[in-house]
Amino acid sequence: MIKETLTKIAKVIPEDRLLVDEPMSRHTSFRIGGPAAALVIAENEEELGAVLRICTEDAAEHLIIGNGSNFLVSDEGYPGIMIKLGGDFDSIRQDPEDECKVIVGTARLLSSTSAFLTEQGLSGFEFASGIPGSIGGAVFMNAGAYGGEMKDVVRSVRVMRPDGSEIKEVAGDKMEFSYRHSVLEDNGWLALAAVLELTKDDPKAISARVAELQAKRNAKQPVNYPSAGSTFKRPKVGYAAALIDEAGLKGYRVGGAMVSEKHAGFVINAGGATAEDVLAVMRHIRSEVYKNSGTMLEPEVRLINCSL
């Protein structure tokens, strides 16, 4: 069945952007994950719409991936089609009618978006400069850090219906942004581009703030190891990292996966970790933290074709 779907996709996506049996370890910040049946790179709205229509018609399992910095894919891989955006979706430009607004494609990385905004003297996005995701992944989960979140700067999002049949613009206040959540998680629409609104400031001052936040990140987080950032969501009371630390789990290890000694909120790939190793560490953390504090931690990392 998947073969027939791929034959149809091959008619709308060039061969070099239709990667069959593609190891997901190449596309995730954890550097973990078996092969997807295929990974397709769509470079414009026509291509993306066509791929979604084919997948819908064939009821073929599929999933959009951004920069893969919040993904844990199983060792068996993913039996469906991973869709990644590139080309036109990587664009960024200032709104010709409003110098404080920028229109950015969802494949663009937060780091390069931040670099562009700094150059233009546009402030308000500094919080996101060190998050290793794309605009699409960050909008999807309302990424945030250091007191800022996507909700603060996103004025509207251009989205495509999951079956590729419709495109519309959704105002920021209709995106239902909340802690690590947006409406896209509920309705499955795909983000194509976002309008960000910022404020004018001196590029040197913006650059200094970006450098300060980067230094904080480097000091606190295990940035030298592959990971997916915070493994668990912030619970209603307290912080996941503090609860994990209090349960004495820093350094806890299964195979190549380990609770970071530097930041207990991160499970890292300390070398050759499998998805099963990471899941075993996550299960142990959940049960020990629950025993110690009565709090059941919920994963922030997306578990693809695997579960706790």
Ligand X SMILES: Cc1cc2nc3c(=O)[nH]c(=O)nc-3n(C[C@H](O)[C@H](O)[C@H](O)COP(=O)(O)OP(=O)(O)OC[C@H]3O[C@@H](n4cnc5c(N)ncnc54)[C@H](O)[C@@H]3O)c2cc1C
Residues near ligand X (CB under 6 A) = 29, 63-71, 85, 106, 131-134, 136-138, 140-141, 143-145, 184, 190-191, 221, 223, 227-229, 302
Of 11, 107, 7, give the one whose Cα is nearest residue 64.
107
Q: Mark whether 180 is an active-site residue.
A: yes
Give the integer Cα–Cα distance in Å for 221 and 230. Answer: 10
CB of 200 to ligand X, least distance (A): 25
Q: Residue with the closest Cβ to ligand X?
A: 137
Angle 100-104-110 (CA atoms, 0-180°, nearest 5)?
100
| Alpha carbons within 13 A on the beta-carbon side of 48 | 27
CB of 273 to ligand X, least distance (A): 14
Of 121, 138, 127, 71, give the one whose Cα is nearest residue 302.
71
Name the catalytic one among 155, 230, 286, 302: 230
Judged by CB, which is closer to ligand X: 118, or 221?
221
Is 244:234 a contact under the CB 8 Å cutoff?
A: no
Q: Mark whether 286 is an active-site residue.
A: no
Judged by CB, which is closer to ligand X: 140, or 252?
140
Judged by CB, which is closer to ligand X: 60, or 291?
60
Judged by CB, which is closer to ligand X: 250, or 290?
250
Q: Mark whether 217 is an active-site residue.
A: no
Which H helix or E strand runs over 105? strand 98-105
Of 36, 28, 64, 21, give the one whose Cα is nearest residue 273.
28
CB of 144 to ligand X, least distance (A): 5
SS3 of residue 303 by DSSP: strand
Name the catalytic one among 31, 108, 180, 302: 180
CB of 291 to ligand X, least distance (A): 27
Judged by CB, which is closer to ligand X: 227, or 274?
227
Of 82, 45, 72, give the one whose Cα is nearest residue 193.
45
CB of 139 to ligand X, least distance (A): 7
Instruction: Give the residue ranges of DSSP H helices in 221-270.
Output: 240-246
Provide the annotated active-site residues: 180, 230, 300
